[in-house]
Amino acid sequence: MTGLSPRLNLILNTALFCLWGMGFGMLSYYMSPTLGNYCNTKTWENDAGVMVCRIYKMLFTFTFLGLYVGFLVFSVSHRCPFLILCPRSLESYEWNPSSCMTDSSIAFRPSRPSL
């Protein structure tokens, strides 16, 4: 089997999810006054300030999306633990993603020979 080791993949996904979580937490904490304000010239004094406010809010939104995607990858890595526990060769198996989410013991089934 070629590619990234499932165990290493699980470790990397867990570490990246933790980093995204810490980064999002710090960003939320330090930007909470900015996120609660309107982006207008009354609050930000001029057009450059309004643009900075919009960029901060966009940064917050994309950081939240990164955290969400990290959570999805993290949950998929933890939903299929049989990849780590079964180090046998999986080259002759085909992946059935629907069973991976419900019953990890049948996610890989032997492939049928093509005619």
Domain membership of residue 90 (yes or no) is: yes
**Segment 43-48 mean pLDDT:** 91
Residue 29 belongs to some domain of the structure: yes
> Does any domain span residue 44?
yes
Q: Is 26 inside a domain boundary? A: yes
Dump pLDDT digits (tens) for 68-92: 888 888 777 766 655 444 444 445 5
Residue ranges making up the domain that contains 85 = 6-110
pLDDT attached to residue 75 = 79
Residues 4-32 have pLDDT tens digits of 777 788 888 888 889 989 989 999 999 88
How many angstroms separate the first and last alpha carbons of the chain?
Answer: 24
Where does residue 60 rank: exposed (0-12), middle (13-18), buried (19+ CB within 10 A)? middle
Q: Domain count for the chain, please give it.
A: 1
> Is 25 inside a domain boundary?
yes
